[in-house]
């Protein structure tokens, strides 16, 4: 069996260095395009909004969809970040509908906001990239509530993995990295589409062309198809968490 490596000094290390360059550019100020925002991107721990620059630029260039992202510190739990995401989305696009794309913990936050939080009825689709639906043995690296939330066996993880009793037509795609050594293997939720990418790790997935292809293709399908959710009538009044 091939041993998964946390920091391999190669591709994963290069991805982390690339992340750092984007983090330094976009550490504090929320990022949004000049057009109406329809895609919200949520980063993972020890990162910032800037790590999504390449993906945001591709979505805007190829699909013509407005994007936005914000940075958050390590510490707050999934529920708190879900509430912050709700406030951010309401401020940007109170009429919705929107799509949420999250890397690592950001994918858990996206699902919580869409399925259980204040964005129920205003999210037309979610995509998670290398998200720890089964937890992480390195949860001790994250202080505070978020570290407890991503422990293996954490009650909130079990709830997120099961998903809502009724998905209400909301679409979800979960993409994992087969060489990911930061989270548990095969960390798929019990719902939605499942895709595993060979030969990349936890941070490489952010810049992997195959992963970006999947995100772009699903967003294109969801927004340009005969049953496109980009209609004001599909976004109902948001529920209170």
The domain 11-224 is classified under which CATH number: 3.40.50.920, 3.40.50.1820, 3.40.50.2300, 1.10.340.30? Answer: 3.40.50.1820
Residues in the chain: 241
Confidence at residue 226, expressed as pLDDT on a 0 to 100 scale: 63
Q: Can you give the pLDDT at residue 11?
A: 85
Tokens at residue 119, please?
Answer: 């964005």
pTM for this predicted structure? 0.87
Per-domain boundaries in the chain: 11-224
Spatial neighbors of 111 by CB under 8 A, at least 6 apart, are 102, 126, 128, 131, 160, 163, 172, 189
| SS3 readout for 89-115 | HHHHCCCCCEEEEEECHHHHHHHHHHH
Q: pLDDT tens, position by position, for the chain (241 residues)?
A: 344 444 444 588 777 777 766 666 665 556 666 678 899 999 999 998 989 999 999 999 999 999 999 999 999 999 999 999 999 998 887 566 899 999 999 999 999 999 999 998 889 899 999 999 999 999 998 999 999 999 999 999 999 999 886 655 669 999 999 999 999 999 999 999 999 999 999 999 999 999 999 999 999 999 886 656 555 444 444 444 3
Cα Rg of the chain, angstroms:
16
**Residue where the block lists tokens 């406030």:** 87
Assign 3-state DSSP to the chain and report helix, strand, coil percentages, each to 5. 40, 15, 45
- Please give the pLDDT value at position 7: 45
pLDDT for the residue numbered 94: 57
Give residues with Cβ within 8 angstroms of 170, minimum separation 6.
Answer: 114, 115, 123, 124, 125, 126
Query: Is there a contact between 135 and 185 (Cβ–Cβ < 8 Å)?
Result: no
The predicted structure's pLDDT at residue 234: 43
Helical spans, DSSP H, in 72-208 = 78-92, 105-111, 144-149, 155-162
């Amino acid at each position: 069996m091939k041993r998964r490596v946390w920091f391999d000094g190669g591709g994963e290390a290069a991805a982390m260095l690339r992340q750092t360059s984007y983090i330094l550019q976009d550490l504090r100020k929320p990022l949004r395009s000049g057009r109406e925002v329809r895609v919200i991107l949520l980063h993972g721990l020890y990162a910032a909004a800037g790590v999504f620059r390449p993906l945001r630029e591709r979505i805007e260039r190829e699909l013509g969809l407005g994007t936005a992202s914000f940075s958050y510190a390590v510490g707050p739990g999934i529920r708190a970040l879900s509430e912050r995401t709700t406030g951010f989305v309401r401020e940007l696009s109170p009429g919705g509908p929107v799509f949420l794309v999250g890397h690592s913990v950001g994918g858990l936050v996206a699902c919580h906001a869409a399925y259980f939080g204040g964005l129920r009825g205003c999210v037309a689709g979610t995509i998670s990239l290398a998200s720890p639906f089964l937890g992480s043995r390195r949860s001790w690296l994250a202080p505070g509530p978020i570290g407890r939330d991503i422990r293996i066996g954490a009650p909130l993880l079990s709830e997120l993995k099961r998903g809502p009793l009724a998905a209400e037509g909301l679409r979800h795609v979960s993409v994992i990295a087969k060489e990911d050594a930061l989270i548990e293997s095969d960390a798929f939720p019990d719902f939605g589409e499942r895709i595993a990418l060979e030969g990349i790790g936890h941070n490489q997935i952010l810049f992997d062309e195959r992963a970006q292809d999947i995100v772009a293709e699903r967003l294109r399908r969801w927004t340009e198809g005969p049953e496109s959710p980009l209609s004001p009538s599909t976004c109902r009044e948001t529920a209170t968490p």
